[in-house]
Amino acid sequence: MTHKWFVIAQSDYRARTSSIRSIRRYFPFIMLGILAVFVLYIAPALIDLFTDELVAFLLSQVAVAFVPILFLMFFLIFIWFPITLMLRDVRSEQQVLLLSAPVNPRDILLGEFLGELPLYIIIMTIFTGFITALFDPLGVTNSQKAVIVTSFMITLSSALWIGTVIAALLRTRLGRSSRSKDVAKALSLMLVVPLVAVVYAFLGGNVLERLADPEAGTMIRNILRIFPSSWAAGIVTQFAAHPGTIGLEVVPRLAGSIVFLGGSFWIGMRLAGRAYSAEITTFTAAQVGPDGAFYRFVNYIGGKNSFGILLTSTFKTYVRRFQNLSWIVYIVALAALMNIFLMKPQDLFPVFLTSSFIFPLLAVAVASDMTLRGKETFFLYKKVPSGVGKLIKTRVVQGWLIVPVVAGVLMAVSVKLIPGTTVTSGVIYTGAIILYAAAHTILALGMFLLRPAYDERGSEFMLNMMIPAQGSAFFVLGSLIMFGEKGVFYLVIPVVWAVGIGVLLMGKRRFSRME
Amino acid sequence: MKPLILTTDLSKYYGKGEIKAVDNLNLTVYEGETFGLLGPNGAGKTTTVNLLNCIIKPTSGTASVHGFDILTQAQEVKRITGLLAESPGLFEKLSAREFLEFMGALYDVPGDILPRRVDDLLKLFGLDERRDYLLEGYSRGMKQKVLLAAALVHDPPIVFLDEPTSTLDPRAALMVKDLIKDLSQKAGRTIFLCSHILPIVEELCDRIGIIHQGALVAVGTVSDIIGRTNSTTLEEAFIELTGGIHEGELLAWREDVNDT
């Protein structure tokens, strides 16, 4: 009799490889070949390009503290992967099928883990390919490389297992209502922020320089010792210092990694019953009270007539979705991190520059709400008399009440934080970013009318996000290089307005004719 | 007749007991019969089905299914039941064939029988030509057929069907009705059916139970229940037992318009 975990793993693997079904049978062999070529030839060739710098770095004091940090990042990313993927699309409905069958929850958990493992092994192999190639110039032996690969794979497998267990537990909790699924989507975006913060800190936060300080390096190393990733990192740094000899110090580190994997496996299996359950723990449904001051204000802006009600209703559907709010928080966090770690502005122009890269994304996120709630919701307006016009008018005003306002507030805060900023420059920059964000709002709405995206994972959504964001980034940088700071103000803002109005009109025409 | 499903004060409460999804349910379903459970939305039909399939645990009381206790012998209960849930999630990245093979393997259908059975079920439901298409491309009706096939793939003696025809076109609905009749009459299977479509229940079920706010308010044959409530149709009896809107109230919302 086939083990249930194997059946589930097989089905999970089939689902994950459904897009390559025609070559699924040969996929493992093709992948094996590609990875072998990568590990044996491509990774060493890439490392070869920077051999001298990398050898110097690996033998430096910085590496002793940096390698555990790098490994910790890998460890956290492998925990983060399955959680984020689950949060983006919580599907608990399938659990009814599995729970009604004679299957132990442990089999479901193990099956899910093993089903996803082959694809993660590809990523692990790419990482290990680089790591082993990195140590070639130091004279690390093949047996040492085998120990490095083993410890690295064990560490990442532990992380993936922990991530899978947490994802399963969260899915059961968050998959029970549309509200909790909305919270999950918001969380998936919020979880990116700490990772971005760490990457920006490394890129512009002088972290490497601080690690070069022996005192700081030792302190960080001691803190990181509690993480299993540091045990694998310890093996790497030990081999880098002593190529050719494996040494007894490896034994406790490797044994510790294995014990950690076993321990996390044991705990995960014990939690499986909680991770797969159809029991409802709460029976509370979200209720709304009478409209507060904010919605009354929106109604007032809308003229307190039928358009006011339409605008208020659109705002309510937008604001009551955590996912939408998380986009605003995410964009503000991104702007703050870019300014703190990368731009470190002394005046307002760098703040304007980062905002000009980031706020097109918020404009797209706000505009996407128009179509992401489904074709039926979107097409509702086509049934209504003058529906297309009403939709556009409502969404433009709604967008303008969010995107330029957030952009303006962020700029106003920067005016306050950057010393020596005059009131005049503060007003000019705040006004400029408000105008720029307002233009992008109509551009994004036009994009979504031209090319409606009903699913965040679809190519339409990605293109609608990439085209205005990337396009404007290149345009802003080009204008800056060619015409200086004034070029950005006098050229970029009017052009984005013109393009935005054009695209919006084309979108209106397209949506009116859409069937 | 041998009782196959027997519930004893079966209850499922939520919160601190203020929400009674199922309240002291005492019900007997006999071997080979087709039993219909009727009730308005939120009456407790799906919760009852979930309890009897060991998907959730009761707050109090118990039940036996084919002699197996739902509290202590969950695996055995699951093995001898098939379930078409009200809103199950399909594995949309699998094809119909792959999905049925997967479900068959979960229910321990022997490897030498499974491929043939999957083929037969796909042919029966008219899905043979699209067997290798991913389920994500199927219409709602076709997905329902696949789920129905999945509920039958291990040939269980007891089949729970929660709204089996709700998304099917008339032809497919007729096929499912005939299938339910054959499963009951020719194959001797016990069918536990939940449906809002009263004509289907009237046509297929030997006995029905009406559940309202978690409590069973009537059990018997259709004619028994119609007679007991002094009604002329099952619809009237259903409204009588579960409450409804008086005819006079139906256009009350237009009064403002009429006044002007």
Short-list B90, B52, B28, CA closest to A18: B90
Cross-chain Cβ contact B93/A8 below 8 Å: no
Using a pLDDT cut of 70, give the percent of chain B over it.
Answer: 96
Chains A–B, number of C-beta pairs less than 8 Å apart: 81
The predicted structure's pLDDT at residue A504: 96
Contacts of A22 in chain B (CB under 8 A): none
The predicted structure's pLDDT at residue A214: 73
Cross-chain Cβ contact B106/A102 below 8 Å: yes
- Average pLDDT value for residue range A412-423: 86
What angle (nearest 5°) sits at the alpha carbon of residue A198, between those of residues A192 and A155? 85
Nearest CB partner across the interface for A283, out of B14, B95, B105: B14
pLDDT above 60 (res B259): no
Six-digit token pair at B3? Answer: 């009782």
What is the distance of C-alpha A394 from the center of its chain?
Answer: 30
* Chain B from 118 to 157: CB within 8 A of any A CB: 134, 150
Closest residue of A to B49, CA-based? A100
Beta carbons of A103 and B74 less than 8 angstroms apart: no
What angle (nearest 5°) sits at the alpha carbon of residue A218, between those of residues A214 and A223? 150
pLDDT level of residue B64 (50, 70, 90 thresholds) = very high
Helices marked H in A175-246: 178-190, 192-204, 207-212, 214-224, 228-241
Digit-coded pLDDT (tens) for B153-167: 999 999 999 988 877
Digit-coded pLDDT (tens) for A390-411: 899 999 999 999 999 999 999 8
Digit-coded pLDDT (tens) for A289-340: 788 899 899 989 888 888 888 898 888 889 888 999 999 999 999 988 988 8
Digit-coded pLDDT (tens) for A224-263: 788 888 888 888 888 877 877 777 788 888 999 999 999 9
Q: Which helix (H) or strand (E) holds B216?
A: strand B215-220
Closest residue of B to A111, CA-based? B106
The predicted structure's pLDDT at residue A1: 65
Short-list B215, B180, B217, CA closest to B200: B180
- Average pLDDT value for residue range B51-77: 93
Task: Evaluate if pTM is beyond 0.90.
Answer: no
pLDDT level of residue B173 (50, 70, 90 thresholds) = confident
Digit-coded pLDDT (tens) for A122-146: 999 998 888 888 887 778 888 888 8
Q: Which helix (H) or strand (E) holds B8?
A: strand B3-14
Digit-coded pLDDT (tens) for A265-283: 999 999 998 888 877 766 6
pLDDT level of residue A114 (50, 70, 90 thresholds) = very high
The predicted structure's pLDDT at residue B247: 65
pLDDT level of residue B207 (50, 70, 90 thresholds) = very high
User: What are the residues of chain A with a beta carbon less than 8 Å away from any beta carbon of chain B?
Assistant: 1-2, 4, 7-8, 10-11, 14-16, 18, 21, 91-104, 278-280, 282-283
- Average pLDDT value for residue range A344-365: 89
- Average pLDDT value for residue range A22-39: 91
- Average pLDDT value for residue range A477-486: 87
- Candidates A17, A100, A103, A282: best to mutate against B (most CBs of B within 10 A) is A100
**What mean pLDDT is reported for chain A?**
87
Strand partners, B38: B210
For the range B106-114, what are the long-range contacts, defined as Cβ-Cβ under 8 Å and sequence gap of 24 or more? B106/A4, B106/A7, B106/A8, B106/A98, B106/A101, B106/A102, B106/A103, B107/A101, B107/A102, B107/B79, B107/B153, B107/B154, B107/B156, B108/A1, B108/A102, B108/B79, B108/B154, B109/B153, B109/B154, B111/A2, B114/B153
Nearest CB partner across the interface for B102, out of A7, A96, A99: A7
Contacts of A8 in chain B (CB under 8 A): 106
Digit-coded pLDDT (tens) for A171-197: 988 887 778 888 999 999 999 998 888
Strand partners, B160: B83, B192
Which of A184-188, A282-286, B40-44 has the lowest average pLDDT?
A282-286
Which of A22-31, A211-220, A420-429, B32-41 has the lowest average pLDDT?
A211-220
Longest dimension (CA), chain B: 75
* Half-sphere exposure at residue B207, Cβ-oriented, CA atoms within 13 angstroms: 12
CA distance B235 to chain A (A): 30
Closest residue of B to A101, CA-based? B78
The predicted structure's pLDDT at residue A169: 93
Query: CB under 8 Å to A362, separation ≥6 — which residues?
Result: A327, A328, A331, A402, A403, A406, A407, A437
DSSP category for residue B193: E
Six-digit token pair at A122? Answer: 């590809």
pLDDT above 70 (res B135): yes
Report the 3 state secondary structure along A343-379: HCCCCHHHHHHHHHHHHHHHHHHHHHHHHHCCHHHHH
Nearest CB partner across the interface for B89, out of A4, A21, A93: A93
Which of A221-230, A356-365, B52-61, B201-210 has the lowest average pLDDT?
A221-230
Contacts of A90 in chain B (CB under 8 A): none
CA distance A389 to A512: 9
Six-digit token pair at B209? Answer: 């139970």
pLDDT above 60 (res A492): yes
pLDDT above 70 (res B246): no
pLDDT level of residue A285 (50, 70, 90 thresholds) = low
Rounded to the nearest 10°, the torsion over CA B140, B145, B149, B152 is 100
Strands B34-38 and B207-212, bridge-based pairing: parallel
Q: Does B80 touch chain A (CB under 8 A)?
A: no
CA distance B237 to chain A (A): 31
Phi, psi of A216 (to 5 degrees): -65, -40
The predicted structure's pLDDT at residue A304: 84
Cross-chain Cβ contact A102/B78 below 8 Å: yes
- Candidates B55, B68, B94, B143: best to mutate against A (most CBs of A within 10 A) is B55
pLDDT above 80 (res B56): yes
The predicted structure's pLDDT at residue A175: 83
